[in-house]
Structure 1
Amino acid sequence: MGDGGVYSTGDSLGTAGLDAIIIALGGWLAIAAEPSGAGAVAMAYVTPVAIMNIRTWSPFYEADDGWTGLSGTFADMAREIEQLNGEVDPYWKGAGSEAFKSFVTTKVLTPLNALQEMAERGSDGCNGVGDAMVEIFLAWAGATAGAAIACMAADLSGPVSPAIKWAIIGIWVAFVTACLVAIILLMTGTRSATSAMGTALEELKRGFKLEGDKVVKESSKVGADQRDLIINPENWNKEVQA
């Protein structure tokens, strides 16, 4: 969250713009809270806390677009293969046909469906985090602007103005802390999406053997028993419709 790293041009621009807004609003609040001394607390809470934790949502939306594109690609591939697999039925009957269809289902369609499911979970997770980050930022910005306006209004209260400003800053700090807790809970909540993606990956592993992040090519080959059934003309029982 707070390593300052960026992942794309949009993320870089978004991070710079967001930091500028956070500093500007925090500076306004700090100025409005003076000369009570509460302004220093406000600014201290802005720089190391808000800037380090309230991050731009652009990389999450960019990742969402990527996952959505992958999901659509896998779905299109599976749909086309399933259609072609079904077109075998009118022309090819028997053990050879069933062995071929079983291979396509277990070694091609099942992994593709698992990949689509994994991509959908990735998309849902990234989109959810992005939306939540926008909401948290808007809540923080609204609360900070409101606190600044309240501190300016407190100047009209005479001798009790410093006490009022300290009270305002105290309420603001509590709210910002709640925002940060929400961010922590949000990041924790992404584990459920990660878990769902892990389940999809396990389904993929059942279709293919993996070594590290690579598929063992032998695992995608037709098994000897299936191959014999498929290539033996005696198992074809071909029925061509007129």
Structure 2
Amino acid sequence: MAWDDGGIFDLSAESDARDTWVWRSVVIGTGALLIVALEPSGAGMAAAAIGTAVVVPNVVDPEVWTSASGEWSELFNVFDAAVADLTEADAAMFAQWKDSAAESFHGFVNGTLLQVLARLREACNLMDDACTQMAIVVISTLVAYFSATVGAIVAALASNAGGPFSPAAKWAVFGVWAPVILAVIAAMVAAVATLWTTNKTLGDAFDALKNKIGEKDGRIDAASVRLPEPVKAVISRYDEWEKKS
């Protein structure tokens, strides 16, 4: 997986792309030192293959995820306030308006709008948590990579100092390093899969909101609430409304 190839967060922002390539450069540099330390056994080329195919494409600046977490948290606050305001407004309206039209509108607000908004609120909370977890996973992956790689470099150099060149010793170092790297990358991929599931939950919630409110030019059109036709018919008979003074 390459983060800038159509993933959840494309690295289109210049600062995000720059910071990510800084991290990738450090990873590439560390990997190059490992390759030199492992050669001429051939293990260095194997390490280069893993680094090129698996490690580097999955390196991303952790700030991408921490920033995303903050944005989802702000959206959660927006939807949370919307739920609270709509609940309060509906209660105030229903206290002054008691008839079949009021019952229909009240039912629509409580049975549809509030449920959809609450679903969006919880989806944003899930995305906030998922992005926070991804930031932790990315940081943990970088720490694990650098720790394992530096350790492998030290071990490979120590094998040089310990006596005549031994390809077996270099391959033994590679044999310890490679499973650790593959395991931490696999953990990152699993975390991304979880994030995609959460992202789908959010998409489903937005689709539900669009179905109830409507959309215009690909955006939710909150200015024109799409009430069910039976509810519209009842509310439109304003001459039959009964208001309490």
TM-score higher than 0.5 here? Answer: yes
Could you tell me which runs of 5 or more consecutive residues in structure 1 were left unpaired when the two chains were aligned: none
Larger Rg, first or second structure (1 or 2):
1
Give, as a single letter, the amino acid of the residue that structure 1 aligns with 2:126.
Answer: R
CA distance in 2, matches of 1:148, 1:73: 50
2:234 to 207, 225, 228: 225
CA RMSD, Structure 1 to Structure 2 (Å): 3.0
Q: TM-score, normalised by structure 2?
A: 0.79
Q: Is this contact kept in 2: 1:29–1:147, CA < 8 A?
A: yes
Stretch moving more, 216-225 or 25-34: 216-225
CA apart distance, 1:195? 4.0
Specify the alignment match of 2:170 in structure 1. Answer: 165
Specify the alignment match of 1:27 in structure 2. Answer: 32
CA distance in 1, matches of 2:4, 2:234: 56
Give, as a single letter, the amino acid of the residue that structure 1 aligns with 2:242.
Answer: W
CA apart distance, 1:212? 8.7
CA apart distance, 1:172? 1.2
Aligned residues: 236
Using a 3 Å threshold, how does the CA distance of structure 1 residues 225 and 153 change in structure 2: closer, same or farther? same
2:92 to 80, 87, 94: 87
CA apart distance, 1:51? 1.0
CA apart distance, 1:200? 2.5
Specify the alignment match of 2:115 in structure 1. Answer: 110
CA distance in 2, matches of 1:40, 1:235: 81
Give, as a single letter, the amino acid of the residue that structure 2 aligns with 1:121.
Answer: L
CA apart distance, 1:224? 1.1
Could you tell me which runs of 5 or more consecutive residues in structure 2 were left unpaired when the two chains were aligned: 6-10
Tell me which of the two structures has the higher relative contact order, counting C-alpha pairs closer than 8 angstroms and 6 or more residues apart: 1
CA distance in 1, matches of 2:227, 2:70: 30
Specify the alignment match of 2:244 in structure 1. Answer: 238
CA apart distance, 1:73? 0.7
Give, as a single letter, the amino acid of the residue that structure 2 aligns with 1:236.
Answer: E
Q: Is this contact kept in 1: 2:96–2:243, CA < 8 A?
A: no
CA distance in 2, matches of 1:190, 1:114: 17
Q: Which runs of at least 4 in structure 1 moved beyond 4 Å after TM superposition?
A: 209-212, 214-218
Using a 3 Å threshold, how does the CA distance of structure 1 residues 164 and 46 change in structure 2: closer, same or farther? same
CA apart distance, 1:168? 0.2
Tell me, what secondary structure is at the counterpart of 2:16? helix
CA apart distance, 1:218? 6.8
Identity among equivalent positions (%) equals 26
